[in-house]
């Protein structure tokens, strides 16, 4: 069975606002007879197991409705893990070849409170079409750029008339009302839920840098940032995180959860202040500055500290410079894996 892969648009470097790991939820759908709606928001593109069946038919890693014998179409309503501005969508029909929907459309709404399923299905939800009815290719990522710059909290994926979708990725920028955050309120400046983003690293051979700033502790060793083994003397691996807001860092957590034979020996953290409003490319700072350039002057926040296996390391008195910073660089020596990075501090307005 072939898997179609196409060039990734620039917006796919943004965070997936609908990700289950970020807190996204598939709330209600018209039908998920063959495969559960919750699969839409799981990581990756989905898998295929040739001989796996359920009592309802072929097991599929996605959301799949039954064959419709009445007029209409199927739909699924999703709550985003974080409200935000959507730049692009990926309606991925991976492994859905003879059973993919020929067409799809997407609507969005902004609900201040946690609405009921009934309210979301009513006209009061104020749904706005952000992707008109468009053809889908089978077994493929179907990308749609969004030019609407409004803030959304929920999406409704409509498929015509029925069929299966493996994953829905909603790429965008997290919105947080920083005016409601007091300057003496401690917040995690490196949290993806607050709008932080891992933007550049020298290596992520085993697992992606975005895992570092996800909510909760790592689910397993794959749920972190891990570099390959490096035998170069005095090697340093690094990752740069754009903070959710410029701020002063007062408390640090470096978590090596699940990393036992492959945790870094030591780590250090540096910061820099760049007023960055650019979305693309994410590896660039203000005025197109290359964040990977050796000419940038980083300030030490946390000196080299010894790490332990599978352990939460808290640092407070060890912090040498609190900020204000817009970006941080986590250095690990010589290589290895970090599950989570938390940078608790005060926003700097």
Does residue 260 sit in the same domain as residue 294? yes
**What would the two tokens of residue 176 be?**
């947080």
Domain boundary pick from 126, 144, 174: 174
Whether residue 4 lies inside any domain: the answer is no
The domain of 142 spans: 10-174
Burial readout 210-229 (b: 16 or more C-beta within 10 A, e: otherwise): bbbbbeeebeebebbbbbee
Is residue 22 within 8 Å of residue 81, measured between CB atoms? Answer: yes
Per-residue pLDDT, 5: 55
| Count of domains for the chain | 2
Does residue 156 sit in the same domain as residue 186? no
Does residue 104 sit in the same domain as residue 32? yes
Does residue 220 sit in the same domain as residue 101? no
Whether residue 86 lies inside any domain: the answer is yes
Domain boundary pick from 154, 174, 194: 174
Whether residue 3 lies inside any domain: the answer is no
Does residue 195 sit in the same domain as residue 118? no
pLDDT along the chain (349 residues), means of 10: 67 96 97 98 96 95 97 98 97 97 98 89 93 98 96 98 98 96 95 97 97 96 97 97 97 98 98 66 58 92 98 98 93 98 95
Does residue 147 sit in the same domain as residue 103? yes
- Distance between CA 31 and CA 314 in Å, rounded? 47
Whether residue 1 lies inside any domain: the answer is no
Domain boundary pick from 174, 199, 217: 174
Is residue 190 within 8 Å of residue 118, measured between CB atoms? Answer: no
Does residue 193 sit in the same domain as residue 136? no
Per-residue pLDDT, 72: 97
Does residue 161 sit in the same domain as residue 225? no
Distances (CA, A) of 230 to 2, 55, 60, 266, 296: 35, 48, 39, 14, 25
Does residue 130 sit in the same domain as residue 249? no
């Amino acid at each position: 069975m072939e898997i179609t892969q196409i060039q990734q648009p620039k917006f796919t470097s943004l965070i997936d606002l609908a990700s289950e790991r970020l807190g996204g939820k598939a709330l209600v759908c018209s039908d998920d007879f063959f495969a559960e709606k919750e699969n839409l928001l799981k990581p990756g593109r989905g898998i295929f197991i040739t001989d796996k069946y359920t009592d309802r038919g072929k097991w599929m890693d996605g959301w799949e409705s039954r064959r419709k014998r009445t007029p209409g179409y199927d739909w699924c309503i999703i709550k985003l893990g974080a409200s935000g501005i959507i730049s692009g969508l990926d309606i991925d029909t991976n492994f859905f070849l003879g059973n993919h929907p020929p067409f799809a459309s997407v609507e969005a709404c902004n609900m201040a409170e946690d609405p009921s399923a009934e309210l979301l299905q009513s006209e009061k939800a104020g749904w706005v079409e952000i992707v008109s009815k468009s053809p889908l290719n089978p077994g493929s990522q179907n990308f749609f750029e969004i030019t609407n710059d409004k803030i959304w909290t929920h999406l409704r994926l409509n498929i015509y008339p029925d069929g299966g979708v493996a994953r829905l990725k909603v790429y965008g920028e997290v919105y947080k009302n920083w005016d409601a955050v007091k300057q003496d309120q401690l917040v995690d400046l490196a949290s993806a839920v607050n709008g932080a983003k891992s933007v550049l690293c020298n290596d992520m051979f085993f697992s992606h840098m975005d895992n570092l700033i996800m909510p909760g502790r790592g689910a397993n060793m794959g749920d972190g940032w891990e570099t390959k083994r490096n035998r170069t003397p005095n090697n340093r691996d690094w990752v740069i995180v754009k903070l959710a807001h410029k701020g002063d860092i007062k408390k640090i957590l470096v978590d090596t959860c699940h990393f036992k034979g492959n945790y870094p020996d030591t780590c250090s953290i540096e910061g820099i202040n760049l007023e960055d409003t650019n979305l693309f490319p994410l590896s660039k700072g203000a005025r197109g500055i290359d964040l990977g350039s050796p000419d940038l002057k980083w300030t030490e926040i946390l000196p080299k500290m010894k790490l332990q296996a599978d352990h939460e390391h808290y640092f407070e008195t060890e912090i040498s410079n609190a900020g204000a910073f817009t970006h941080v660089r986590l250095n690990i020596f010589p290589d290895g894996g970090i599950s989570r990075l938390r940078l608790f501090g005060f926003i700097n307005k």
